[in-house]
Amino acid sequence: MIEILGYIGALIIGIVLGLTGGGGSILTVPVFVYLLGIEPVLATGYSLFVVGISSLFGAIKNLQKGLVNFKTSLFFAIPAAIMVFSTRKFIIPAIPEVIYSNASFLLTKDIAIMVFFSILMLAASFSMILDKKRRVHQKEITKSKTINYFPLVSLGALVGIITGLVGAGGGFIIVPILIFLAKLPIKQAVATSLFVIAINSLVGFAGDALYMPINWSFLLSFSAFAIVGIFLGIYLNKFIDGAKLKKGFGGLVLVMGIYIFWKELW
């Protein structure tokens, strides 16, 4: 029964991705950890694969439409991919199983990862809820064409570390960066973000595949449900207002982020 719920969760993740163009992947790790009982480090690795494959389907569609900015992708994705691979290959294994302990409190690696993930969920929820106001400001920003690539490279590396730690694509972080720094229009920013996420996530997962035991039959079947959900979401997008749904989904992510933070610490 629990496994069935997990696959239903995969379908929902895909539907949200198809409807809103992002955000659904933030649910992947909680589904793995709390529904399917997978330990957090492995769950973040599995999430990278699911997010990477799902984003790849969206990226291919955007490539066909000519919406991906390859120059920006190069400056952002290369440092991000290097850091996400390094984080999964070297930093995650180097974190001690017990980070801090005293008579009344124990902070383990698993707890630290989930607490950091809950903070990321809270940030993602505010990004989705405030999306409309942010986009109005973005249109004004893209009028300027002066691009400084150095901070783009630096922030790409930072996003790579975050992606490597929590297994989330980070589209809610990447899109504003591409608009503010690379001066991309919103449609190009979203398309380029999916392309970057696909590269980062799959490269990061490659770091896991070198030393972690991977249940390929489960991972591929879970990913298949997510991909089916994406196509279903794209179809439903003709009848449902994706912007309103994204705000509602942001509220759900906010509640879940608070719950995970409370559950892991108290």
pLDDT in tens, the chain (266 residues): 678 888 998 988 888 776 765 666 788 999 999 989 999 999 999 999 998 898 888 788 788 888 889 889 989 999 999 999 999 888 998 999 999 998 888 999 999 999 999 998 998 888 878 865 455 455 555 455 567 778 889 999 999 999 899 887 677 788 888 888 888 887 788 788 888 988 989 998 988 887 788 999 999 999 999 888 878 877 787 777 666 777 778 888 899 999 999 999 87
CB count in 10 Å sphere of residue 138: 19
Q: Please tell me the distance from the alpha carbon of residue 193 to that of residue 200, in angstroms, as a whole number.
A: 10
Cα–Cα distance measured from residue 201 to residue 203, given in angstroms and rounded to the nearest whole number: 6
Question: How many Cα atoms within 13 Å fall on the side-chain side of residue 254?
Answer: 12
Closest CA to 166 of 47, 258, 9, 50: 47
Phi then psi dihedrals of residue 89, to 5 deg: -85, -35
pLDDT of residue 86: 92
Alpha carbon separation from 44 to 30, 106, 114 (Å, rounded): 9, 21, 10
Domain total in the chain: 1
DSSP 211-264: TS---HHHHHHHHHHHHHHHHHHHHHTTTS-HHHHHHHHHHHHHHHHHHHHHHH
| Residues 6+ away with beta carbon under 8 Å from 218 | none
Q: From 16, 42, 49, select the one nearest 198 (Cα to Cα).
A: 49
Q: How far apart are CA 239 and CA 169, in angstroms?
A: 27
Residue 78: predicted pLDDT: 93
> What per-residue confidence (pLDDT) applies to 166?
86
Domain that holds residue 118: 2-265
Distance of CA 90 to the CA centre of its chain: 20
Please provide the distance, in angstroms rounded to a whole number, between the alpha carbons at the two ends of the chain.
28
Token pair recorded at residue 186: 């919103």
Strand partners, 106: 101
pLDDT of residue 133: 47
What is the predicted pLDDT for the residue at 174?
86
Does residue 167 contact residue 47 with C-beta atoms inside 8 Å?
yes
pTM of the predicted structure, to 2 decimals: 0.85
- Look up residue 58 and give its two tokens: 């969206």
